[in-house]
């Protein structure tokens, strides 16, 4: 075993897989939240590692990929307990953004993204709670899928907020992403979803700036003939702020509930400053705030239901506000950016919908892209559509 934090690894495993299957010959990188029998699960934090015994069972999602022929290449770095979107880990190192080493790799599946981007793995298994597959996919120029919530098993995986936690994966090409999807969605409702033929063009405004710039609009316009109906929707800043605040409260309340006992049991969990502050804040969320967020969620779902009239509609939108922030961005600016970013990423999480990132654009000379957001269980249909669009 060896470590190579720059390329995303926390443990490299030189193993073989003699199982024949659709993933034979493909290398699998696994985020260090998923249990692999015989190995520790560190969740990005040394105190978590010290207070938990090595795994005795392998997570179902990992085992399915191995059984389909994937070769386990190792475990990858994650932000501490997956509670960040930056991809920085003060304990184990920050994976390098392959496209631009001066920029953040994006978290919390930063290690899996880096391993794939540096071509040391073909499938980067991660988790996505608030954007932790989609954001590093955007920042590193990869395809990345946040699946329909609840379809893929999350057993033997360190949770953050189970209401939103999903497994997800990143790949350099759509064919590999699709083959992985076919393995994981076999015999599920995803296989029964109807075809998509109607398009919503979501135009979010963040920080007073309409994110769907001319280049993005042109890219979309060249593909509208694929749809029988096209509708443009302004996502006003007030609505995105509502998404962000609703999501943050509901996620934070669950994170406090899930990890509260462990936090009480550890004298000094040694978090980085931003994640430590986040855990302190989430433990202050009271029932009144939770109830208010639940009410806001119903407003959000009602609005989305008016836009997505049925399962034949798909939305396209920017995945992130733009290129990855630079590594030397100050903490205050990153905090403000996180809130704006979550206004975009929260939409799929709150509505339990699948979202597929397409690495088709650049911003400031760095990777950026658009996402397809579909109805629940439309995951395979999103991939089929993406193959026609890309």
Active site residues: 31, 108, 132
pLDDT beyond 70 at 270 = yes
pLDDT at 15: 78
pLDDT at 367: 98
Q: Is 333 left (phi over 0), alpha (psi -120 to 50) or beta?
A: alpha
Q: Please, which pLDDT band fits residue 207 given cuts at 50, 70 and 90?
A: confident
The percentage of residues in the chain with a pLDDT greater than 90, rounded to a whole number, is 95
Cβ atoms of residues 222 and 263 within 8 Å: no
pLDDT beyond 60 at 3 = no
144-173, pLDDT tens digit by residue?
A: 999 999 999 999 999 999 999 999 999 999
Domains of the chain: 1-390 (3.90.1300.10)
Give me the torsion for CA of 78, 258, 243, 310, rounded to 10°. 90
CA 74 to chain centre: 19
Average pLDDT taken over every residue of the chain: 96
* Residues in contact with 64: Cβ distance below 8 Å, sequence separation at least 6, in sequence order: 183, 184
332-367, pLDDT tens digit by residue?
A: 999 989 989 999 999 999 999 999 999 999 999 999
65-110, pLDDT tens digit by residue?
A: 999 999 999 999 999 999 999 999 999 999 999 999 999 999 999 9
pLDDT at 268: 87
CA-to-CA dists, residue 258 to 58, 149, 244, 264, 284, angstroms: 21, 18, 21, 12, 14
pLDDT beyond 60 at 1 = no
């Amino acid at each position: 075993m060896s470590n190579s934090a720059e390329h995303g690894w926390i443990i490299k495993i030189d193993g073989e897989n003699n199982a024949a299957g659709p993933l034979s010959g493909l290398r699998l990188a696994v985020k260090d939240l998923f249990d692999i029998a015989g190995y520790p699960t560190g969740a990005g934090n040394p105190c978590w590692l010290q207070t938990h015994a090595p795994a005795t069972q392998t997570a179902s999602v990992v085992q399915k990929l191995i059984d389909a022929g994937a070769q386990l290449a190792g475990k990858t770095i994650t932000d501490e307990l997956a509670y960040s979107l930056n991809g920085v880990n003060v304990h184990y190192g920050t994976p390098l953004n392959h496209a631009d080493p001066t920029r953040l790799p994006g978290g919390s599946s930063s290690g899996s993204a880096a391993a794939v981007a540096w071509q040391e793995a073909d499938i980067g298994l991660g988790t996505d709670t608030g954007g932790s597959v989609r954001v590093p996919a955007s920042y590193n120029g990869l395809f990345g899928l946040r699946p329909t919530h609840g379809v893929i098993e999350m057993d033997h995986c360190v949770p953050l907020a189970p209401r939103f936690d999903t497994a997800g994966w990143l790949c350099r090409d759509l064919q590999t992403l699709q083959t992985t999807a076919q393995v994981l969605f076999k015999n599920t409702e995803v296989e029964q979803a109807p075809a998509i033929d109607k398009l919503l063009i979501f135009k979010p405004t963040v920080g007073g700036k309409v994110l769907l710039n001319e280049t993005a609009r042109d890219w979309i316009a060249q593909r509208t003939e694929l749809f029988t109906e096209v509708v443009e929707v302004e996502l006003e800043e007030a609505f995105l702020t509502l998404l962000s605040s609703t999501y943050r409260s509901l996620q934070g309340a669950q994170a406090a509930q899930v990890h509260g006992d462990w936090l009480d049991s550890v004298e000094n969990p040694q978090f980085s400053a931003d994640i430590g502050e986040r855990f302190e804040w989430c433990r202050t969320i009271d029932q009144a705030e939770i109830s208010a967020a639940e009410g806001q969620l119903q407003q959000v779902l009602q609005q989305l239901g008016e836009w997505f009239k049925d399962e034949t509609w798909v939305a396209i939108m920017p995945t992130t506000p733009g290129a990855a922030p630079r590594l030397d961005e100050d903490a205050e600016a990153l905090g403000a950016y996180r809130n704006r970013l979550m206004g975009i990423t929260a939409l799929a999480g709150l509505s339990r919908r699948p979202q597929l990132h397409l690495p088709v654009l650049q911003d400031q000379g760095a990777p950026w892209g658009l996402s397809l957001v579909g109805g629940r269980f439309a995951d395979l249909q999103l991939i089929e559509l993406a193959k026609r669009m890309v």
